[in-house]
Chains A and B, each alone.
Chain A
Amino acid sequence: DAAAILPAPLDLSVHSINMKHILTWSPVIVPGKIVNYSVEYQGEYERYYTSSTWIPSSWCSSISTPECNVTDDITATVAYNFRVRATLGNQSSAWSTLKELFNRNSTILTSPRMKMSKDGYHLIVEFEDLGPYFEFNVTYWRKSPNSQVLYKIVREGGSLVHLETMEAGAEYCVKAQTIVEVIERSSAFNQVECVIAQDESPLL
């Protein structure tokens, strides 16, 4: 029948970095034609409680590119499955599904980009905005014998946050990692960066 003629998409897989999840697959090629795709998903709940029903993906019903941002579909830390089928006119292929289920706790967490600045003696730090799931664990210390290592949690990226009031002429070093509480994981620390506070302002 018509469905069998159009081949099903292959090689479905989810690429996830910093809690942004992209489903990709190999395109179905029909020379001179534009093939569309539809994506559906199911969580563990659907598999065990509602006899494996499928839910249309938020953004990918009838798209022509072989990839779909499924970030908004995956909002629980359980195993998800996806299926994709190709359509061309009134022909639809069979559904293809993931070879391995996807759980967001496997996302790749990169170490955060960090910008340091000073306002006089005040050490200011700014992180890239990675979205609502991300906090930043900042570790900093004064570069001097037996100085204490201090910690601060910065709740969101995208704003200049005061880290420390520096002493004149002292050097301070900072490193940070992201924390994603909903999956109880954190990234590696980024490169240590150091700044030197201005000297005491000279008396006139």
Chain B
Amino acid sequence: GLKRLHLGNCVLSMNYQEMRNEFLEIKGYVQAEDGNLDKRILKSSEALQDTKPTERCCFFRHLLRFYLDRVFKNYQTTNHHIRRKVSSLANSFLGIKKELRLCHDHMICHCGEEAKKKYTQILSHFEELDAQTAVVKALGELDILLRWIEKT
């Protein structure tokens, strides 16, 4: 059930399996809304697990904030089941972000060049698309982020 995530000196546990189950419930629906198959926001070149350990915490914090502030918040659907699952994922992300705050408070969540550069890249992929298209694509790519987390 719980996954220990090692982000340099910051170690946190997250309900990884539960989040994967929740994503599997929306995967077909959300990915079907994404018509731009030739575009990708979370590219392998920016993978979390390939980031310098000392900067993973900061990069991951950026990613969490990105999803909380720009993806979950702006995803619109009339489907109640999908909305509940997105809410569940958003609240799980919020729980992780609160845990990550402790690492930040203990000064073990250092932001360096690599974290900033990778996050800027992801943001530019996101902003190349129009708003709602980008939100749908980012939500549909959550399994890529979950796979990064699994490998970290």
Contact = CB atoms under 8 A, between A and B. Distances in A.
Sorting the interface of chain B by its residue count into under 10, 10 to 19, 20 to 34 or 35 or more gives 20 to 34
Interface stretch (B79-87, B105-113, B127-135): B79-87
A48 B98 CA distance: 13
A46 B94 CA distance: 10
B90 A55 contact: no
B69 A49 contact: yes
B44 interface: no
Given A45-B72, A49-B68, A49-B72, A76 B88 contact: yes
Interface residues of A, number: 21
A75 B94 contact: no
Interface string B16-41: 00100010000000000000000000
Contacts of B101: none
A44 interface: yes
B1 A75 contact: no
A contact face: mostly helix, strand, loop, or mixed: mixed
Contacts, number: 62
B15 A182 contact: yes
Contact of B84 (A55, A133, A135, A182): A55
Contacts of B72: 45, 49
B18 A43 contact: no
Given A49-B72, A182-B1, A43 B84 contact: no
Contacts of A49: 68-69, 72-73, 90, 94
B95 A77 contact: yes
Interface of A: 43-46, 48-50, 55-56, 58, 72-73, 75-78, 133, 135, 181-182, 184
